[in-house]
A and B are shown apart, each in its own frame.
Chain A
Amino acid sequence: MQQSVKMAAETLDFYYGRFRALEGINLEIPEHQVTALIGPSGCGKSTFLRCLNRMNDLIPGTRTEGAVLLDGVKVNVPSLDVVELRRKVGMVFQKPNPFPKTIFENVAYGLRVGGVTDRNFISAQVEKSLISAGLFTEVKDRLYDSALGLSGGQQQRLCIARAVALEPEVLLMDEPASALDPIATQKIEELIAELKRNYTIVIVTHSMQQAARVSDLTAFFYMGKLVEVGPTEAIFTRPANQQTEDYVTGRFG
């Protein structure tokens, strides 16, 4: 079945000062699919991920050329409301970063900042988000305890709940399980499989096995260029490009 394109990069270049970190990236991200970005350190995969919701705007001296599209609309234009973009394109980071607040308030935070005041709505949304993140049954009796008391894996799922509370359309995940133990990693991977029913997911991972397990599409970046993109099954069984083959089989990296 042909998936519709949720986000796309068109001849995207990205510069840190004079250094070109991304070069002519053309990549379509299909809706309700998991797209994994792989490649050695410094290849530009995280930079690309952060271009999708303009997180790189926060870094002085950077600039973008080309286009990033969300539902066909260019998002890397000055007139676009970045806060609104980040509401639609949420992000989960490598290390869990809960706020020093209660579990409930962590999930409700984005809603309150967004101006939502309806207590019933907020409560319902917090519960729904915690259920989506596979955390509700573990924390339902201690919603008003500090989030800092949760385990690392629970904290990361709390961050996912915090992201989905705003009902984004796309979830960006930057190595979401790299700081977690194997069991917590498994839970996050299972969660990704569940979340893709409602969200389009783009994940950066250094674990090729994780990319193989969780993604539908895999894109291999090398030295700022997109070398190959294709169905994950093809990338990990018979990649078309020799560089991809050499990277996934550990012949360089």
Chain B
Amino acid sequence: METRAHFHAELEALKGRVVALCGQAEASRQGAVAAYLGRDLALARQVIEADRAINQNTCDIDEACLKLLALEQPVALDLRRIVGYARVVINLERLADEAVNIAEGALAGAGLPGDCDGMLVALSDHVAAMFALATRAFVDDDVDAAMEVCRFDERARELAVSAMRCITEALSQCQATPETGVRAILACRSFERMAAHAANLGEILVFIVKGVILSQKCQPR
């Protein structure tokens, strides 16, 4: 007989709220990319506006985690889930912040210098794939998928470095204005940060399911 059915139902509902926040963050990411590449100012403003709701939902979920920790005194998998959800929402909120940064770049007059547009699109597509996989891993408690997301982070870094090198060269050859070049570099940086947040989601999922901390900042135990 399940003795904590009510608590576990609350936990399941909390997971649903985190998954919904994943959806909001993904909508922001998609909107920001479309606004930047298509120079769509209205869409860029929508992304910036939507960030308020994401911030509020992050705070609400964080508070719900705190409440469950205090009132239910969870242990083992339940404890790891709640701690994990609190960490996940921080990463989602920051990922959405990067989307806002990209959208703000679009508002300021985005542009892709030289032949670098393909590289930025490749980086953006890679981040999209990482985040989609991270979300699926989270929904399904799929450790293999989560580990794959972590491994994809290295490729994201490579793509970001290539794109930034391309932009720098375009700037040095006067194929782009400094403003356009700097905005493109900042967009690269934002995509790279998004990839890192997606990889963090993978690490957190491994922590939730296996109790293993993968973060490079932590010493193995």
Contacts and interface: CB of A to CB of B under 8 A. Distances in A.
A238 interface: yes
B87 interface: no
Interface string B192-221: 000000000000000000111000000000
Nearest to A250: B4
A172 to B, nearest CB: 25
B75 A236 contact: yes
Contact of A236 (B1, B8, B76): B76
A150 B132 CA distance: 64
**Residue of B3, B4, B76 with most partner-chain A CB within 10 A:** B76
Contact of A249 (B1, B77, B211, B212): B77
B8 A251 contact: yes
Contacts of A237: 75-76, 79-80, 211
Interface string B62-86: 0000000000011111111000000
Interface in A222-253: 235-239, 244-245, 248-253
B75 A253 contact: no
Given A237-B80, A237-B211, A238-B211, A252 B75 contact: no
Interface of A is mostly: helix
Interface residues of A, number: 16
Interface string B110-122: 0000000000000
A82 interface: no
Given A238-B210, A249-B8, A249-B77, 20 more contacts: A209-B73, A236-B75, A236-B76, A236-B79, A237-B80, A239-B76, A244-B76, A245-B76, A245-B77, A249-B4, A249-B74, A249-B75, A249-B78, A250-B2, A251-B3, A251-B8, A252-B1, A252-B2, A252-B3, A253-B3
Closest 3 CB pairs of A and B: A238-B211, A250-B4, A236-B75
Interface string B1-29: 11110011000000000000000000000
A239 B77 CA distance: 9
A107 B210 CA distance: 50
B14 to A, nearest CB: 15
Contacts of A253: 1, 3
Interface of B: 1-4, 7-8, 73-80, 210-212
Contacts of B211: 237-238
**Residue of B73, B77, B78, B212 with most partner-chain A CB within 10 A:** B77
24 contacts: A208-B75, A209-B73, A235-B76, A236-B76, A236-B79, A237-B75, A237-B76, A237-B80, A238-B80, A238-B212, A244-B76, A245-B77, A249-B8, A249-B75, A249-B76, A249-B77, A250-B2, A250-B4, A250-B8, A251-B3, A251-B4, A252-B1, A252-B2, A253-B1
A184 interface: no
Interface of A: 208-209, 212, 235-239, 244-245, 248-253
**Residue of B1, B75, B77 with most partner-chain A CB within 10 A:** B75
B32 to A, nearest CB: 37
A190 B79 CA distance: 25
B3 A250 contact: yes
Nearest to B78: A249
Contacts of B79: 236-237
A250 B6 CA distance: 11
Contacts of A239: 76
A252 to B, nearest CB: 6
A252 B1 CA distance: 5
**Residue of A237, A239, A250, A253 with most partner-chain B CB within 10 A:** A250
A251 B78 CA distance: 10
Given A237-B211, A238-B211, A253-B3, A248 B73 contact: no
B52 to A, nearest CB: 36
A134 B3 CA distance: 35
Contacts of B77: 245, 249
